[in-house]
């Protein structure tokens, strides 16, 4: 999964995928079940890297090293460039629907072998993805997705502190003793769904999405329930566009955002968690990486332990930037009643400069992706009348705006 409130100042992504409307000689529901792993009994530890709040692993295909996103919310995928290089056998075709509900036709291929650490996954079914369609994904730069249908062949222990993952065919008792237990269900594409508690409400069938750097995304209907029960009643509104999915097409957005201190998983509470409305009901890495997470595919359970990481207070400058080939860099969405909004910033306006980033000259949109603001932000832009203007905006806590709106 791209919301205006810049969480720790990186751009939001959600690569969760829905599969549907498949044809060809083999249905996707059958093709996605292919595959095995060798050796049959294994345990290995691999390091991962965090970029823009997402987890990336090194993998090998035919002895060549690639960078893959670790994503429990999407199936296994390879880039068009990898498919062009290796010409894996096509086994099916159809469409995907991304986290923005944009739809795209794709092919499924059978990857003969992919190696993660010392573990080899054989005959895995992958969809062939275009990882340059979304400008943010293009800027981050990765070659594929270690997805849910591949993950089911192993148990996974994810340590956000040491930034390492243990893969194991069997879980040792001392790995899970004393950890909080959360059962999960898995759908046809092996995506995991759990129950999450927010205050007195239990939210069912929440996607566990390591492919999203959001916190919590909820539907408008669920948010209405939280409002009715007075669990959450002060919200900020953001309007404009978002461009979070793998297909990359901007879609119009009007959403609400708030902060909660009442979310818990398996009885483990978390504070300062951002909730936003979205197309997908999900938990992203901003929540998941606050825990040591054990994914037990044998018993279909998550085991959790507080990682004791220090949460970063959510901040905003009041707007988020986007990019299209037609518009260049522009204000993608704006937080209503923020200082940026009150001083005339509107979605769609072209941005010429942000701090030291001079677009179309010394800098491009990729310099903005992951850019960390300081206490204030200078921006030069063209307003709706084409006038060139310059403004400086403070970086503020989201809770400050919420407190002001509550008065």
Q: For 52-82, write each residue's pLDDT tens digit.
A: 999 999 999 999 999 999 999 999 999 999 9
The reported pLDDT for the residue numbered 313 is 80
Average pLDDT over residues 150-173: 96
Per-residue pLDDT of 80-93, as tens digits, reads: 999 999 999 999 88
Instruction: Please give the radius of gyration of the chain, using alpha carbons only, rounded to the nearest integer.
Output: 21
Helices first, then strands: H and E counts in the chain: 10, 34
Sorted by where each starts, the structural domains of the chain and their CATH numbers stand as: 7-168 (2.40.70.10), 174-306 (2.40.70.10), 317-401 (2.30.42.10)
H or E stretch at 342: helix 339-342
Average pLDDT over residues 257-266: 93
Of 9, 47, 354, which is closest to residue 213 (Cα–Cα)?
9
What tokens appear for 338 in the block?
């923020």
- Judged against a pLDDT cut of 90, whether residue 259 lies above it is answered with yes
CA torsion 45→49→55→57, rounded to 10°?
A: -50
3-class SS at 306?
strand
The count of other CB atoms within 10 Å of the CB of residue 283 is 27
Pairing relationship of beta strands 185-186 and 192-198 according to DSSP bridges: antiparallel
Burial class, 186, CB count within 10 angstroms (exposed 0-12 / middle 13-18 / buried 19+): middle
Q: What span, in angstroms and rounded, lies between the C-alpha atoms of 267 and 244?
A: 31
How would residue 8 be classed by pLDDT, with cut points 50, 70 and 90?
very low
Burial class, 292, CB count within 10 angstroms (exposed 0-12 / middle 13-18 / buried 19+): buried
CB-CB contact of 122 with 37 (8 Å): yes
What tokens appear for 44 in the block?
């290995």
How would residue 113 be classed by pLDDT, with cut points 50, 70 and 90?
very high
Cis amide prior to 39 (ω within 30 degrees): yes
Token match 């004393």: residue?
Answer: 178
3-class SS at 136?
helix
Pairing relationship of beta strands 119-129 and 36-38 according to DSSP bridges: antiparallel
Contacts of 56 (CB under 8 A, 6+ apart): 48, 49, 50, 67, 68, 69, 70, 142
Q: What span, in angstroms and rounded, lies between the C-alpha atoms of 265 and 215?
A: 13
CB-CB contact of 108 with 95 (8 Å): no
Per-residue pLDDT of 133-160, as tens digits, reads: 889 889 999 999 999 999 999 999 999 9
Average pLDDT over residues 102-114: 90
pTM (predicted TM-score): 0.91
How would residue 14 be classed by pLDDT, with cut points 50, 70 and 90?
low
Contacts of 172 (CB under 8 A, 6+ apart): none
Lowest mean pLDDT among 288-292, 352-356, 390-394, 400-404: 400-404
Phi, psi dihedrals of residue 148, rounded to the nearest 5°: -65, -40
């Amino acid at each position: 999964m791209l919301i205006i409130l810049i969480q720790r100042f990186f751009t939001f992504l959600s690569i969760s995928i829905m599969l549907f409307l498949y044809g060809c000689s083999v249905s996707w529901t059958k093709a996605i079940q292919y595959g095995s792993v060798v050796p049959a009994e294994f345990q290995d530890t691999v390091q991962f890297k965090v970029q823009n709040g997402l987890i990336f692993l090194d993998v090998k295909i035919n002895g060549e090293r690639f960078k893959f996103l670790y994503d429990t919310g999407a199936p296994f995928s390879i880039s068009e460039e990898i498919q062009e290089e290796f010409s894996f056998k096509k086994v099916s075709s159809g469409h995907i629907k991304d986290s923005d509900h944009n739809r795209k036709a794709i092919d499924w291929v059978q990857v003969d072998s992919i190696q993660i650490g010392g573990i080899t996954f054989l005959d895995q079914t992958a969809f062939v993805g275009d990882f340059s369609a979304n400008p943010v994904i293009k800027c981050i730069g990765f070659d594929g997705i270690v997805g849910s249908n591949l993950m089911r062949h192993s148990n996974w222990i994810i340590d956000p502190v040491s930034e390492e993952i243990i893969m194991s065919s069997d879980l040792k008792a001392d790995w899970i003793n004393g950890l909080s237990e959360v059962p999960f269900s898995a759908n046809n594409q092996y995506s995991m769904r759990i129950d999450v508690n927010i205050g007195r409400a239990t939210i069912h069938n929440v996607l566990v999405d390591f492919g999203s750097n959001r916190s919590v995304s909820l539907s408008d209907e669920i948010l209405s329930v939280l409002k009715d029960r007075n669990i959450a009643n002060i919200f900020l509104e953001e309007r404009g566009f978002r461009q979070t999915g793998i297909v990359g097409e901007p879609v119009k957005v009007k959403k609400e955002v708030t902060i909660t201190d009442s979310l818990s998983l398996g009885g483990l509470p978390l504070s300062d968690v951002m909730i936003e409305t979205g197309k997908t009901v999900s938990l992203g890495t901003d929540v998941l990486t606050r825990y040591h997470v054990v994914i037990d595919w044998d018993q279909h359970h998550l085991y959790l332990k507080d990682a004791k990481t220090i949460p970063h207070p959510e901040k905003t400058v009041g707007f988020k930037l986007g990019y299209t080939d037609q518009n260049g860099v522009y204000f993608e969405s704006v937080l209503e009643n923020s200082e940026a909004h009150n001083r005339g910033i509107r979605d769609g306006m072209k941005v010429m400069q942000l701090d030291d980033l001079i677009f179309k000259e010394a800098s491009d949109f990729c310099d903005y992706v992951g850019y960390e603001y300081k206490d204030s932000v200078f921006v030069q832009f063209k307003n709706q009348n084409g006038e060139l203007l310059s403004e400086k905006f403070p970086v503020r806590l989201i809770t400050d705006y919420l407190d002001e709106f509550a008065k």
